[in-house]
Amino acid sequence: MPLLTRYLPEFWTALPKDGSGPRMLFNYRRMWKQCVLVTASVCVIPLVIMAVLNYIQYHNALKAELTMPMGQLIQGAQKSIAFFLEERRAALEYAVEAHGFKDLSGKQHLAKILVDLKRAFGGFIDLGIIDSSGVQQVYIGPYALEGKGYRDQAWFREVLFRGVYVSEVFLGYRNLPHFVIAVRHEKPDGGYFILRATIDTQMFNDLTARARIRESMDVFIVNQEGVLQTPSARHGGVMDKLPFPLPKTGGGEETAIVEHGDPRTREHFLVGAAPVESSPFTVVLVTSTPGILAGWFSLRVKFIGFFLISGLVGVFVVLFVCTLLVSRVYEADRKREAILHKVEYTNKLASLGRLAAGVAHEINNPLAIINENAGLLKDLVSLTPDFPKKEKTLKITNTILASVERCGNITHRLLGFARHIDVKDETIHLDNLVREVLSFLDKECHYRGISVTLKADDDLPPIQSDRGQLQQVFLNIINNAFAAVCDGGQITIELAKTPQDKIAVKIADNGCGIPAEHMKLIFEPFFTTKGRSGTGLGLSITYGIIQKLGGTIDVASREGAGATFTVTLPLKRKP
């Protein structure tokens, strides 16, 4: 990842230092994408369209000459297998319909039916009658399977659900390839029984062998997992796993044909597959491709290689030119944005200062009168023993005095924008100063169960700065942290010396965090998220004080994951 970011332009890897936010980055990324897309499209799209059309037309023409007869052969073999299965299933259903459960339960009668089925259709090995409990009551065949239970086997549940079941080829007790066809029949009394027949796969083998009309062809049957159900001339014997994936068919009896290549022998061949409906079998035909298609494969490799090399060179040139162009635009706009932001902020503070001075002086006079009169009223009420509704009047008077005090605090903050208060430098140990500020908040800390951790380097040097203004800075930031965390929250304050001979004070909380859309606005005057309880001046005043003291303030936050304010101060302020 560091190697990747090394070669990426800045607008892809970092937020702008001027605080312009992700929206600005998105615009430059979009500009870069549009530039690359338009330039590359004009160069590459016509070439791609022409190449693709020629490739598709020529390839489809060659492929059609091979796949059309191949598809006909597969469908013929598929129909033969489907007819073979349907013929034997119909024979079993006829035997069930023509003879009742009582007749089929007799061994002699069931043996006669097996002989008739062998004579008429061939391939039948044995017959068995299974009752509703899954136990084979009657069995006619070469093995002692009478009384065997099948209730817990998957085929038994399937035949109960579907009425008919055709199994995959398996070895079983006989250790010879065979498969099973079973049909369910309802009895007049509401019960049911199952007639189960074992079929020899030799007739399967004969059917697939007849479909092989050339030596280069291989026709066989597989199950849904690609396991061979009949022997293959080149790809394994019965119960072996097919060494290549089957073509995906769209369902039903649809035929699919795809190309495959053997990387060891460099032999290319076509594979066609057609599933047999109502069975687990799929007919597969594999044939090697003639020399004309093999020659096309070689031509295709060369054509694709030339096209990819040309395209990569063109794309590289387009990326380099577009990245260089957008990076230069980005750098120019970033410098302009930073200058405009600084000018705008200075003008805003100057205008606000002039406005604040006038408003504060105009408001302070009536506030003083209200304060004096409210105090006098409180004294009169307090000193008059029989004053009517004394408690209610004192409560109202205290509310007035509290509101006057709050208004006075607001006007005092406003005056801070208008006055150019001289900085009084003195030697300050920042860790001691932060502890003094925290002492003001001890009661709230204890009441709300907030954990405050202070960490400071042992060799932290003192700085030359203004104590009172730094107290105001840290009090504002820590107050905001208290407001952001819930009861029982955690605040961590770390003080460390930076390599640039400065002191960094990092104040982190695990509170609600700051939304991304508010990050650009938190230092603007009168911007607040506290509703009517906030004035929006705390961080704005803090920003102005830190700038005046020669320091910087940075914010890192993510909504729901807390916020970290980092105040960096020089060891000695430059005049």
Spatial distance between the Cα atoms of 47 and 68, rounded to a whole number of angstroms: 31
3-class secondary structure, 150? coil
3-class secondary structure, 168? coil
Q: What is the pLDDT of residue 128?
A: 93
- Domains assigned to the chain: 99-200 (3.30.450.20), 293-420 (1.10.287.130), 422-575 (3.30.565.10)
Q: What is the pLDDT of residue 538?
A: 67
User: 273 near 246, Cβ under 8 Å?
Assistant: yes
Mean pLDDT of 292-307: 68
Q: Is the pLDDT reported for residue 85 higher than 70? A: yes
pLDDT band for position 179 (cuts 50, 70, 90): very high
**Digit-coded pLDDT (tens) for 236-259:** 889 999 888 888 876 666 888 888
Strand partners, 452: 491
User: 340 near 398, Cβ under 8 Å?
Assistant: no
Lowest mean pLDDT among 227-236, 244-253, 267-276: 244-253
43-71 as b/e: b if 16+ CB within 10 A:
bbeeeeeeeeeebeeeeeebbeebbeebb
Q: What is the pLDDT of residue 9?
A: 65
Mean pLDDT of 138-165: 89
**Digit-coded pLDDT (tens) for 20-75:** 455 566 777 788 888 888 887 877 777 778 777 777 777 777 777 777 888 888 88
536's tokens: 């929006």
3-class secondary structure, 195? strand
Mean pLDDT of 185-203: 88
Spatial distance between the Cα atoms of 276 and 282, rounded to a whole number of angstroms: 6
Q: Dihedral sign, CA of 216, 220, 224, 225?
A: negative
**Digit-coded pLDDT (tens) for 365-406:** 787 788 888 788 778 878 777 778 778 887 888 888 888 887
User: 511 near 485, Cβ under 8 Å?
Assistant: yes
The whole-chain average pLDDT of the chain stands at: 80
Lowest mean pLDDT among 3-7, 206-210, 261-265, 559-563: 3-7
How many Å separate Cα 483 from the centre of its chain? 34
Closest CA to 226 of 235, 218, 234: 235
Strands 426-428 and 267-275: unpaired
89-112 as b/e: b if 16+ CB within 10 A:
bebbbebbeebebeebeeeeebee
Which segments of 237-386 are extended strands (E)? 256-262, 267-275, 282-288
pLDDT band for position 97 (cuts 50, 70, 90): confident
pLDDT band for position 180 (cuts 50, 70, 90): very high
Q: What is the pLDDT of residue 351?
A: 61
**Which residue shows structure tokens 């799209």?**
45
Mean pLDDT of 324-341: 77
pLDDT band for position 83 (cuts 50, 70, 90): very high
Strand partners, 495: 456, 505
**Digit-coded pLDDT (tens) for 482-492:** 888 888 888 89
Mean pLDDT of 114-137: 90
**One-letter amino acid for residue 355 of the chain:** L
Q: Is the pLDDT reported for residue 281 higher than 60? A: yes
Neighbouring C-alpha atoms within 13 Å toward the C-beta of 334: 22
**Digit-coded pLDDT (tens) for 438-447:** 877 777 888 8
